[in-house]
Structure 1
Amino acid sequence: MMRAALLPTALLAVVAPAAAANPVQTVAVEAAPEFNRQPEFSPRAARPGEPLLQDLAVMATDVQITGANPELIQIARRTIATEPGQATSASQLNADLAALKQTQLFQDVQVNAIANEQGWNVQYALQPVTIQRVQLNNAQVLSEAMAASLFTSQMGQTVQPSSINQGIANINQWYQDQGYVLAKVQDVRTQRDGSLNVIVAEGVVGSVRTQFIDKEGNITEGRTREDFVLDQLNLRPGDVFQVATAQQDLRELYRLGLFQQARIGLQDRGDNTVDVIYELHEVSARGVNVGGGYSRDSGVFGSVSYNDRNVGGIGQNLALNVQVGTRDTQFNTEFSRAYRASTPNQLGYSFSAFRNRGISGSFDNEVRLEGGDRPHEGRFGGGVAVSGAIDDWDTSVGVNFRRVSIRDGEGALAPVDEFGNALSTSESGIDDLLTLRAQVRNDQRNNPLNPTAGSVASLSTEQSIPVGSGNILMNRLNASYSTYQAMQIFGGPRPEVLALNVQGGTTIGDLPPHQVFLLGGDNAVRGFAPGEVGAGRSFIQASAEYRVPLFNSPVTGVAFADFASDLGSTPHRIGAEGEAERTKIGTGFGYGAGLRLDSPLGILRADFGITNTGDSRLQFGIGHRF
């Protein structure tokens, strides 16, 4: 079989995109590079040389081309040098035959010159190639079967360049639909044996690396280790670049909580491969605060806190807070590493220890001790937990111990309030809680700190073991679901967000008074004080927020509405008259507006809430409400 020659350059342009691709610029992953303009047939073609001088020049009185469709006849007419009314020769006709065969569009070509009184009537008989199969070159993700289906109008038919061009467009569109935005047909060549040789450039990844940038976009040094970042990614050298994979990688990077911004840049290597660069702007992961003051519990005190969310450059967390006073020493510390699906053989872990005392957050402002003090709550203990994953659910199990003591402002134990209502399970005012806790969580948010899309669901159970003071046997259940939807009602440069949350919980068995579900406050129904709505065994709660970024500033405006109910589970309490009475409204609704400031310390929150009882309150917090 004769070795197939290449199509002439001019003819290549009619059946394939330009072979030399434009260099790939560094772009955000959302921006797909454009393909070269779809080729069209050109009337120009390479011509053989002039007739040799020793040949007898004869007038071509007529030139006829038969055996092919009109499209191929036009290509043939532009390929040959013989024209009606012009001189030709035997050498010229042989050169025409060679040129027509060189196009690879024809399996056989014959020429006849019939003499007449004025010269020659020249006849070209064409036998076009019939396309029988597709052969792919440089393809990884496109199969030959799929390519053949995309060239369906050409398969089994004589070659027709318009059908080939349509097949090229079909393949390019297939690549786009599958998210292979760098892939395209680079060249198409017909072969005289009936093969259609399709050469593609699919955008193979040459290398993957990281690059840290500051808020102005300038290259800077980063704390996070590159090998740690690369371990979180699915995209690897040798893979074909795909948008879905890149977007999943960005979600994983945001889930680390280490980056304020993550984007992908692409650089052309000039050999049909690209370098993928993950450009990362790190959050401020470390912070130190020093303070001091006076409190009734600690006396004159000094405090120091240290936080680092990226210990060792591998996303380990260390939080340490120590307060030393003339009357008391308090501390709270935790060291942890989250489980990550990218390294499934490495479990996450956390260790914590704490000792603190202050006005109890488990009782509302109406609960008073004999003498008028508010109950103070001391907590001492610690815990350890490990985490992993089951399918798409992050899981954790752990054991915790905490000793809870209820005291007055002078440190004396206070097991009951001024009316004799119990404030602890034990009569001593000290309760020991040894618990086993399990949680499953499915987090699909695009950014855990400031999400604009996705959802997060969690379910937890905490079972106490009846040992120690109080002999408490209980099971505490919690469930929560939040969803986030990007919106564009006001049409700003950044997406607005509709955020919804619903949650509920209940306690089975013993219910220590300091373990009730408090409803109301900045983390529940805004506009109410903590515990003003309810303080019971069970609850349901729902919230909605619409978050609107304000111009190009770090400030976001929020409109919100909250609802909660204790489902009638708040116990009656003995009041001043000595009779049990209901002290909570049980169901509450609040609405209002607020601001969020994205600061180096995190998201700072201020909300002004109005309740269904007509009260209002300005409340502050850190982080989004949910």
Structure 2
Amino acid sequence: MGFYQRWRKWFILPLVLAGVGAELLAAASIRGQEIEAVSPVEYGSFVDNQGMPIEARLNPTYRQRRSQPFQKQNDLPDVPQLPQSPRRNPIPSRRSIAIADIQVRFVDEDGQPTPGNTRPYIITREFDLQPGDVYRPEVAQQGLERVTELDSVEDATLSLQQTNQPNQIVMIVNVVEDSSFNVTAFPSSSRAKGIYGVLRLEEENLGGNNQNLALELEAGEDTLGFEVSFTDPWIAGDPLRTGYSLAVFNQRSPSEVFIGGDREVDLPNGETPWVHRLGGSGELFRPLGGNWQAGVGVSYQRVSIRDQAFTDQVQPVDEFGNPLSLSDRGQDDLLTVNLSAVQDNRDDTDYPSQGSNVRVGMDQSVPVGEADIIFNRVSGSYTQYVPMELFGFTSGDQTLVFNLQGGTVIGDLPAYEAFSLGGGSSVRGYQSGEVGAGRSYLQATAEYRFPVFRDLRLNNIPIKLD
């Protein structure tokens, strides 16, 4: 797969019902990013001009591997189909075949042997079959599907090779590796940040362990920031498939929370408030039954309000004396414990046409620093995808998408942590945050999606279009 990416542009016809809690913050006409997942924006996340976390689009560790046309080759026969040789005994029926060994063979796209970068046990641990077990095609199929979802794997097939023993075989996993180092760059724009660009450098198979190390830079007219993240999707030796991620970040930009609305929020010196976030986070996550994945994490950030990117002076109030932070100094320490759960039953994570997606989460702050912020934030989202062809605009999936989401905050609520509605990925026809904001919200949307363009590829040019 590498840099070869499918690309589609969609027309979306929306029908939206939305409501925001009546208690709006006095500091400003609150604005912000669209809240679709378990919290307004994951701490340390960059967002695009529609308020969507960029890493959710660019970082494969935040999603399952997209479907690939050649994965149909992964189907396994109920009875091993091997070439016969007069010097070899036929493979007996699968009911009496034992697996003598499991081997990994790296090949290129033409099937020729090639050196591999991934450690073999990263491949073999995806199978619930071990040497000495009886070969079961359905179990092998499940393991092979998990192998093709690894970030370091482009394609994989399975072959069986008989041994000198009449009732034993060697199970061979043939792996085509994907390019592990990606460079992604794209321009964007938003009302708060102006015109800006994002550059992401990412190694998806660090040390051959399928671990992800990424550096993301953002700079533009009114924004400057970086994030360094590391993800191990499966801690070696853990039978529960537990993974973890770590991140540090520093972001500086005006917040759409303070821009627009009935009146824009200005500082006493007439400048627009900039929100500075410096901190880090860590999370443990693991799969559960029924396509559920759960996570628990902790995040710390020091949030300050300033009048530009490079300044030591904080701004605690706006031009009318309304507080912009909970502390009197214009600087808050925000420590939260985060719980989340996701069930993803979509047929494709990038361009789903059927299935559902459920997200629930809770963030509990721990009072630290001068502000002693203590709140509990709960939120959830349910999305249903229904295939339906209403118009014959172009070939491809046409889908009705229904979404219901909501959230509330109990306790202290800094202005920069409020829920907000409006924007291209929330209530269409309104700019981000223009509908309103507050400590509670409920939103229901219905959309009809159909592709206009698809399968746009740039041959041998490592460019991703977003």
- TM-score interval, smaller chain: 0.5 to 0.7
What residue is the counterpart of 2:21 in the other structure?
A: none
**Given the alignment of the two structures, is residue 264 of structure 1 paired with residue 157 of structure 2, yes or no?**
yes
Structure 1: segments with no counterpart, 5+ residues: 1-25, 33-179, 184-198, 293-300, 556-596, 606-626
1:519 to 383, 399, 421: 421
Deviation at 1:265, TM superposition (A): 3.9
**Given the alignment of the two structures, is residue 505 of structure 1 paired with residue 407 of structure 2, yes or no?**
yes
The 3 A distance-change label for structure 1 pair 519 and 405 is same
Alpha-carbon distance between aligned partners in 1 of 2:137 and 2:389, rounded to the nearest angstrom: 27
Alpha-carbon distance between aligned partners in 2 of 1:281 and 1:369, rounded to the nearest angstrom: 56
AA aligned to 2:281 is G
Superposed counterparts of 1:275-354, under 5 Å: 276-288=171-183, 306-321=201-216, 330-339=225-234, 343-344=238-239, 347-354=242-249
Alpha-carbon distance between aligned partners in 1 of 2:429 and 2:114, rounded to the nearest angstrom: 44
Alpha-carbon distance between aligned partners in 2 of 1:519 and 1:357, rounded to the nearest angstrom: 22
Is the Cα contact below 8 Å between 1:29 and 1:246 reproduced in 2? no
What residue is the counterpart of 1:400 in the other structure?
A: 299
Alpha-carbon distance between aligned partners in 2 of 1:241 and 1:525, rounded to the nearest angstrom: 50
SS at match of 1:362: helix
What residue is the counterpart of 1:467 in the other structure?
A: 368
The 3 A distance-change label for structure 1 pair 550 and 338 is same
Alpha-carbon distance between aligned partners in 1 of 2:399 and 2:328, rounded to the nearest angstrom: 50
Is the Cα contact below 8 Å between 1:501 and 1:542 reproduced in 2? yes
SS at match of 1:28: helix
TM-score normalised according to structure 2 size: 0.62
TM-score normalised according to structure 1 size: 0.48
What residue is the counterpart of 1:188 in the other structure?
A: none
**Given the alignment of the two structures, is residue 252 of structure 1 paired with residue 146 of structure 2, yes or no?**
yes
**Given the alignment of the two structures, is residue 363 of structure 1 paired with residue 258 of structure 2, yes or no?**
yes
The 3 A distance-change label for structure 1 pair 384 and 495 is same
SS at match of 1:253: helix
1:438 to 339, 346, 349: 339
Measured on the aligned residues, the alpha-carbon RMSD in Å equals 4.7
Alpha-carbon distance between aligned partners in 1 of 2:172 and 2:395, rounded to the nearest angstrom: 25
What residue is the counterpart of 2:19 in the other structure?
A: none
SS at match of 2:122: helix
AA aligned to 1:399 is V
Higher relative contact order (CA 8 A, sep 6+): 2
Is the Cα contact below 8 Å between 1:254 and 1:448 reproduced in 2? no
**Given the alignment of the two structures, is residue 380 of structure 1 paired with residue 380 of structure 2, yes or no?**
no
Alpha-carbon distance between aligned partners in 1 of 2:208 and 2:350, rounded to the nearest angstrom: 19
Alpha-carbon distance between aligned partners in 2 of 1:374 and 1:257, rounded to the nearest angstrom: 41
Q: Which moved more, 1:304-313 or 1:496-505?
A: 496-505
Structure 2: segments with no counterpart, 5+ residues: 1-70, 82-91, 188-195
Is the Cα contact below 8 Å between 2:202 and 2:213 reproduced in 1? yes
Is the Cα contact below 8 Å between 1:358 and 1:378 reproduced in 2? yes
User: What number of residue pairs does the alignment pair up?
Assistant: 365
The 3 A distance-change label for structure 1 pair 398 and 240 is same
Superposed counterparts of 1:156-175, under 5 Å: none
- The alignment-based identity, stated in percent, is 35
The 3 A distance-change label for structure 1 pair 30 and 455 is farther
**Given the alignment of the two structures, is residue 28 of structure 1 paired with residue 28 of structure 2, yes or no?**
no
Is the Cα contact below 8 Å between 2:79 and 2:93 reproduced in 1? no
The 3 A distance-change label for structure 1 pair 28 and 251 is closer
Deviation at 1:519, TM superposition (A): 1.8
The 3 A distance-change label for structure 1 pair 304 and 493 is closer
What residue is the counterpart of 1:534 in the other structure?
A: 436
Deviation at 1:601, TM superposition (A): 5.9
The 3 A distance-change label for structure 1 pair 443 and 275 is farther
SS at match of 2:258: coil
Alpha-carbon distance between aligned partners in 1 of 2:388 and 2:176, rounded to the nearest angstrom: 25
Alpha-carbon distance between aligned partners in 1 of 2:397 and 2:426, rounded to the nearest angstrom: 26
Deviation at 1:269, TM superposition (A): 4.2
The 3 A distance-change label for structure 1 pair 553 and 386 is closer
The 3 A distance-change label for structure 1 pair 285 and 403 is same
Is the Cα contact below 8 Å between 2:184 and 2:463 reproduced in 1? no
Is the Cα contact below 8 Å between 1:205 and 1:236 reproduced in 2? no
Is the Cα contact below 8 Å between 2:98 and 2:167 reproduced in 1? no
Alpha-carbon distance between aligned partners in 1 of 2:231 and 2:108, rounded to the nearest angstrom: 27
1:223 to 117, 131, 142: 117
Deviation at 1:369, TM superposition (A): 0.8
